[in-house]
Amino acid sequence: MKIKEVRFVSGNEACALGAIAAGCNFFGGYPISPSSEIAEFLSELLPRHNGRFIQMEDEIAAMGSIIGAALAGAKALTATSGPGFSLKQENLGFACMAEVPCVIVNVMRGGPSTGAPTSPAQADILQSRWGTHGDHPIIVIAPTTIQEIFYEVIRAVNLSERFRNPVIYLLDEINGHMREKIEIPEPGEIELWHRPKPPQDKGWDKPYERNEEGVPLTPDYGCGSRFHVTGLDHGVTGFPSGSAEVRQALHHALMAKIENNKDKIIKYDTFEADDAETLIIAFGSTARSARRAVELLRKDGKKVGLFRPITLYPMAEEAILKAAEGKKKIVVPEMNLGQYVLEIRRVLGRDIPIAQVNRTDGEPITPDQIMAAV
Amino acid sequence: MAKNFDYAKYLRTQYIPHIWCPGCGHGIVLKAVLRAVDRLGLDKDKIAFVSGIGCSSRAVGYVDFNTLHTTHGRALAFATGIKIARPDMHVIVASGDGDALAIGGNHFIHACRRNIDITLVVFNNYIYGMTGGQYSPTTPEGSYASTSPYGSVEPPFDVCNLAIAAGATYVARGTAFNTVQLDKLVEKGIQNNGFSVVEAFSQCPTYYGRKNKQRTPVDGLKWQKEVVVPAAKAKDMNPEELKGKILVGELHQAQRPEYTHLYNTVIERAQSADAE
């Protein structure tokens, strides 16, 4: 891969740079710690790349603005943190229901409520999956390193376009503010996805007819096909329907779109996992401490490995089952009081002991804490 | 009003009959919007018609434009995204009194302040119709509603004064009773290159009317006729004569740079800095 430049940047800046590399051309946001730098960087970068930035009047408006822009053809992104993420949930559900491609970055901070605005947490995992009302499809990605933040936000934008679904991009205060060296590739080196095109530009009246991947062939506003978008249950025409059959088909199609394509969405990484007797499952910045713990324990001859989900949802259930096979113990560290571990327990059942390492005091989980749990 | 106006040209007739109650004023207001669009000769492909939630918000589904039925109160936020992504499109928003001024009040004042080129038509029936007749921010003080069974003690918003104070550059009030005037107001609102607010009184015989001695649609329209005074005429009237009256017509026009045009200058500045 041809590298354009090497930069020393924070995770929030890497996220903004990645959004530009992904072809993102609209950002609607609202200031909130510890995500504000993403808005600040994009307010500078977007107009230089013919994109547009707006600081909306509140978090709800920010979410609404990216949906409107996306329906009019833009690749749209917003960034927020805990309380703002809570406020965005209703419109996030609209984007799931109306199948609007968009990316919501949540630089996680302590909660509940105002919590600890400038301290790290990973406490929005289940809200990311189930925050808005009703059954709905979602993609959640949690990168670890600053370089990975750059590449994975591009993947987030690509997935949102390819599957016309909101993607939640979870950073935390640690990797949002931490600085590392990143390599930025030449623009042509990165594969970019665009939403599937309807078979005709003009007069297309089935905006919710699906392609072979189950993704609707929705035109962009203003292209010559006039169509209707609503948060009500609707059929392939986009118009509300009271038919039990149409409604049930819609809800199944929404979930199937992600479930049937999960192999194209799921991404994970392993480190010293094959011969390990104890497997740590960690994501986001906690995976950094987990990796260090593995390195230190391996030096002492202890057989420990790491499984790092990068896509949190859809969940890498089969890969986790396979990675846990034959292991004597699983350790799940996370900066909350036990959220993703509920999912791990659901997948692995009761046959294998699962230890938790949790912390919500605003301090990162240390390698020592993880080593003690191993 | 054009006698032989071909509404079918603009309607998705396959979705009619509409869901509005018999005697509702919303269809009258919607027709004024269609006639204004027709008089301006706008390209249907270039119109985005956006709404929130409530009775008014169902208007968009019946019309053959690019239509978006959003969440409660948020139509202006979605519309702002559309306008910024496609500044060449005409963006019209249909919103009710509760939608625009209660749950959506924040978006209302900030869209006015920004002066983004969007035309907001407030279908003001002084009540929450869709949910069963609860009082809204425009329910006249003393009126009865399903949540003010002893009469409302809250003072209402003056939609137009709020819009003027917040910075909208075209502000007008009309009624379902006087459609000739309403057509013109909507037309001029769309023509204004900035944020326009056109408030349209719309009778609700089912809820507001039934509880407030305007039981029939005619009662509601008569009230509109009797309560209003044209703004031009009001200039020559004394406070005694104006007591209890509501001004209609063009209430405010101002020249101020439009938001998406101003943002173009941001792009120019950002790129000229890069070029240096």
Q: Do B81 and A26 touch (CB under 8 A)?
A: yes
pLDDT at A338: 98
Residues 6+ apart with CB under 8 A from A268: A307, A308, A309, A310, A311, A316, A319
- Comparing CB atoms, the residue among B50, B89, B270 nearest residue A48 is B270
Question: Tens digit of pLDDT per residue, chain A (374 long)?
Answer: 899 999 999 999 999 999 999 999 999 999 999 999 999 999 999 999 999 999 999 999 999 999 999 999 999 999 999 999 999 999 999 999 999 999 999 999 999 999 999 999 999 999 999 999 999 999 999 999 999 999 999 999 999 999 999 999 999 999 999 999 999 999 899 999 999 999 998 999 999 999 999 999 999 999 999 999 999 999 999 999 999 999 999 999 999 999 999 999 999 999 999 999 999 999 999 999 999 999 999 999 999 999 999 999 999 999 999 999 999 999 999 999 999 999 999 999 999 999 999 999 999 999 999 999 99
Chain A contact present for B2, CB below 8 A: no
Q: How far is B56 from chain A (nearest CA, A)?
A: 14
User: The tokens of A129 are what?
Assistant: 């999956």
Q: Which of residues 116-145 of A touch B (CB under 8 A)?
A: none
Residues 6+ apart with CB under 8 A from B165: none
Residues 6+ apart with CB under 8 A from B3: none
Q: What is the average per-residue pLDDT within B199-227?
A: 98
Chain A contact present for B261, CB below 8 A: no
Nearest C-alpha neighbor of B33 from the set B65, B72, B76: B65
- Report the side by side order of strands in the sheet with B246-253: A228-230, B66-69, B47-51, B90-96, B118-124, B196-201, B170-175, B246-253, B228-230
User: Which neighbouring-strand residues pair with A104?
Assistant: A78, A168
Q: Which of A229, A232, A233, A237 to mutate to test the interface with B (most CBs of B within 10 A)?
A: A229
Q: Which of A41, A65, A66, A234 to mutate to test the interface with B (most CBs of B within 10 A)?
A: A65
DSSP one-letter string for A337-372: SSSHHHHHHHHHTTSS-EEEEE--SSSPPPHHHHHH
Domain boundaries B11-275, CATH class: alpha beta
- Comparing CB atoms, the residue among A47, A60, A73 nearest residue B77 is A60
- Comparing CB atoms, the residue among B66, B74, B81 nearest residue A227 is B66
A233 neighbourhood in chain B, CB within 8 Å: none
CB B217 within 8 A of CB B211: no
B269 neighbourhood in chain A, CB within 8 Å: 47
Q: Are strands A268-271 and B246-253 parallel, antiparallel or unpaired?
A: unpaired
Chain B contact present for A235, CB below 8 A: no
Q: Do B78 and A228 touch (CB under 8 A)?
A: no
Which pLDDT band holds residue B21 (cuts at 50, 70, 90)?
very high
pLDDT at B274 over 90: no
A42 neighbourhood in chain B, CB within 8 Å: none
Q: What value does the mean pLDDT of chain B take?
A: 97
Q: Do B106 and A240 touch (CB under 8 A)?
A: no
User: The tokens of B113 are what?
Assistant: 């302040």
pLDDT at B2: 58
Share of chain B above pLDDT 90, in %: 97
Q: Do A61 and B80 touch (CB under 8 A)?
A: yes
- Comparing CB atoms, the residue among B15, B46, B48 nearest residue A239 is B15
Chain A contact present for B61, CB below 8 A: yes
Nearest C-alpha neighbor of A105 from the set A151, A20, A41, A169: A169
Fold adopted by A269-373:
Rossmann fold (3.40.50)
Task: Map out the domains of chain A as residue ranges.
Answer: 3-189, 269-373
User: The tokens of A183 are what?
Assistant: 């390599």
* Distance from chain centroid for Cα B138: 13
pLDDT at A361: 96
Q: How many residues does chain A have?
A: 374
**For B69, which residue in chain A has the nearest alpha carbon?**
A230
| pLDDT, tens digit, 9 for 90 and up, residues B153-205 | 999 999 999 999 999 999 999 999 999 999 999 999 999 999 999 999 999 99
B131 phi, psi to nearest 5 deg: -95, 0
**C-alpha to C-alpha distance for B13 and B121, rounded to whole angstroms:** 22
pLDDT at B19 over 80: yes
User: The tokens of A202 are what?
Assistant: 């003009």
CB A99 within 8 A of CB A227: no
| pLDDT, tens digit, 9 for 90 and up, residues B110-119 | 999 999 999 9
User: Which neighbouring-strand residues pair with A184?
Assistant: A5
**Widest distance between CA atoms in chain A:** 68
CA distances from B234 to A188, B123, B169, B241 (A): 65, 24, 21, 9
Q: How far is B103 from chain A (nearest CA, A)?
A: 11
**For B87, which residue in chain A has the nearest alpha carbon?**
A72
Residue A156 amino acid letter: A
Chain B contact present for A74, CB below 8 A: yes
pLDDT at B273: 82
B50 neighbourhood in chain A, CB within 8 Å: 68
Q: How far is B44 from chain A (nearest CA, A)?
A: 8
Q: Do B64 and A226 touch (CB under 8 A)?
A: yes
Chain A contact present for B266, CB below 8 A: yes
- Comparing CB atoms, the residue among B15, B74, B85 nearest residue A73 is B85
| pLDDT, tens digit, 9 for 90 and up, residues B118-132 | 999 999 999 999 999
**What would the CATH number be for the domain defined by A3-189?**
3.40.50.970
Q: Do B81 and A70 touch (CB under 8 A)?
A: yes
The answer to ipTM > 0.85 is: yes
Q: What is the average per-residue pLDDT within B35-47?
A: 98
**C-alpha to C-alpha distance for A191 and A25, rounded to whole angstroms:** 17
Helix, strand and coil percent figures for chain B, each rounded to 5: 45, 20, 35
Q: Do A61 and B48 touch (CB under 8 A)?
A: no
